[in-house]
Amino acid sequence: MKIKILKDILSANDQRAKENRELLNRNGILAINFTASPGAGKTSLILETINRLKADIKIGVVEGDVSSSLDAEMVVKKGVPVVQINTGGTCHLDATMVASAFNNLPLEEIELLLIENVGNLICPAAFALGEDLNVLISSVPEGDDKPHKYPVMFSKAHLVVLNKIDLLPHVLFDLPAFTEAVKGLNNGVEIFEVSCKTGQGIERWTSWLSNRLNKRPSTS
């Protein structure tokens, strides 16, 4: 009986995610789902993305967290529309939560939607949101063994961002081993090495994102 309930939950979520995706497509919006462990740098990367692209691209943000609105408060200072979703203890966003956020965003004025999922590398893997792309952020202080510990998340990522590479000289992190592990799970995925603190690699990331945005289907 428990297995049936789980299947029903996931089936309902997938249907809502499909509806979300259709709504985003009708509005010509590219949606990115950012996943990571707590502290890996999701918010930092989102803020850097806004800084570099907001002059040319209309950006909106959905901030997911267990509680508080600290991340959303930082985003709103950048002058872009943002909705905070507090899950109240749930370890992931789901498609229904994101759909409710859409009701509070000016979708007709957004080209790029950045969704920050709850900091977790297990639960978000099972719940589609209607996103176009999944971007997984890992960070040097977490260690190079993260792909081995969370293979499902890494295998589903369209892009892996390795953040805080400015710390490579100061911590034990085997970059070739990390790369090999990621490629072993997801052979075609690109890995971007960045530092939100120093700005290293951010331009490559935003250029990649701009190119993907330019390739989105026309709504005309």
What string of DSSP letters covers 69-132? -HHHHHHHTTT--EEEEE-TT-SS--HHHHHHHHTTS-GGG-SEEEEE--S-SSGGGG---S-S
pLDDT for the residue 153: 96
Residue 127 reports pLDDT greater than 70: yes
Pick from 75, 55, 47, 58: which is nearest to 111 by CA?
58
User: Which pLDDT belongs to residue 216?
Assistant: 73
Supply the DSSP string of 132-185, one letter for each residue: SEEEEEEEGGG-TTHHHH-HHHHHH-SEEEEE-GGGTTTS---HHHHHHHHHHH
In this predicted structure, the answer to whether residue 5 has a pLDDT above a threshold of 60 is: no
**Number of domains, the chain:** 1
Question: Going by C-beta distance under 8 Å and a sequence separation of 6 or more, which residues neighbour residue 106?
Answer: 60, 81
Q: Is residue 116 part of a domain?
A: yes
**Does the residue 19 lie in any domain?**
yes
C-alpha 186, offset from chain centre: 17
**Distance from CA of residue 183 to its chain's centroid?**
19
CATH code, domain with 22? 3.40.50.300
As a whole number, the mean pLDDT across the chain is 93
Task: Let me know if residue 219 belongs to a domain.
Answer: no
Please count the residues of the chain. Answer: 220
Q: Give the whole-angstrom CA distance, residue 61 versus residue 89.
A: 21
Is the pLDDT at 89 greater than 90? The verdict is: no
Query: What's the pLDDT tens digit per position in 165-202?
Result: 999 999 999 999 999 999 999 999 999 999 999 999 99
Q: Is residue 220 part of a domain?
A: no
Domain containing residue 60:
2-214
* CA distances (Å), origin 13, targets 87, 93, 104: 15, 11, 20
Residue among 203, 177, 200, 204 nearest 190 (CA): 204
Q: Decide if pLDDT at 137 tops 90.
A: yes
Residue 20 forms part of a structural domain: yes
Rounded CA separation 24/183 (Å):
30
* Calpha distance 219→217 (Å, rounded): 6
In a domain, 144, yes or no: yes
pLDDT of residue 23: 97
For the ranges 29-38, 63-72, 77-86, 115-124, the lowest mean pLDDT is seen at: 63-72
Question: Is residue 219's pLDDT more than 80?
Answer: no
Evaluate whether residue 121 is within a structural domain. yes
Q: Within a 10 A sphere around the Cβ of 14, how many other Cβ atoms?
A: 15
Domain for residue 23, yes or no? yes
**b/e 28-48 (16+ beta carbons within 10 angstroms → b):** bbbbbbbbbbeebbbbbbbbb
CA distances for 80 relative to 93, 105, 132, angstroms: 21, 10, 20
User: Is the Cβ–Cβ distance between 75 and 82 less than 8 Å?
Assistant: yes
Tokens of 110: 């957004």
pLDDT confidence band for 10 (50 / 70 / 90): confident
